[in-house]
Amino acid sequence: MSRVALVVDDSTSMRQMVSYTLKDAGFSVIEAGNGQEALDKLAAATGGKVDLIITDLNMPVMDGLTFIKNARTKPSAKFTPILMLTTESGENRKAEGKAVGATGWIVKPFQPDQLIRVIQKVLPA
């Protein structure tokens, strides 16, 4: 049974690119357009659990930091690796991400191989 990843980004094309990379690595992918939708999808996932979350920072309705803060309150997502994938690279923002419970911070653009390497580090087989 393949592992499940939740991809959160308000850009359709970005979700496609991340999903393509993850599916190529053997993941099943759930997509969400903002933080609130991601929380809903997370609740609806099998056992309320996914193996990996990759989220954008700036999104309408609910941004990535708020989403992570909310997700970390769910027992099923308490220890799930969550990678921020954003255009922002400021240290203050990274500190905010770390504070709310992000596992790592990737500045766009990413390379598919690179993303897979990072995932292998945070999510051992």
Partner 1 sequence: MVKILPYLAGLGALILGFAGQSPLGWVVAAGMVVAVVMMLKQSVKATEESSALSEKLATASSQLDLATQQVANLETKLLVSDDELERARALQVADDATLSIAQTESTAETHERAKIARVRSEELGNLAAQVMLSIDEAERAISTAIESFTDVSSEARALTTAASSSIEAGAESGVRKHVATATDVMDSFVDHMLSTSREVAGSALQMQGLVEITGRLNGLLDQIEGVAKKTALLSMNASIEAARAGDAGRGFAVVANAVRNLSSQSHEAAEETRRLTESITQQSTEICHQLAHAAKKSRDEGYQAQSELIQLLATIREADEMSQEMVQDLSDRSLSISRSVGKVVTAFQFQDLLRQRLEHVATPLGQLRVEILQEAGLPVPEIDLHLPDAPGIAPFLTVVSYAGDDDNIELFA
Contact positions vs partner 1 (CB under 8 A)? 9-14, 16-17, 20-21, 24, 57-60, 63, 87-90, 93-94, 97-98, 102-114, 117-118, 121-122
What whole-number distance in Å separates Cα of residue 93 and Cα of residue 28? 29
Residue 73 beta carbon to partner 1: minimum distance, rounded to whole angstroms: 19
- Shortest Å distance, C-beta 118 to partner 1: 6
Question: What is the distance of C-alpha 97 from the center of its chain?
Answer: 12
Cβ-based nearer residue to partner 1, 43 or 61:
61
Give the nearer residue to partner 1 in terms of CB position, either 30 or 33. Answer: 33
Between 43 and 107, CB nearer to partner 1? 107
Omega cis (within 30) before 109: yes
Beta carbon nearer to partner 1, 43 or 122: 122
**Phi, psi angle pair for 27, to nearest 5°:** -85, 150
SS3 63: coil
Kindly state the smallest distance separating residue 46's Cβ from partner 1, in Å.
25
Separation in Å, CA 96 to CA 8, 88, 105: 18, 12, 11
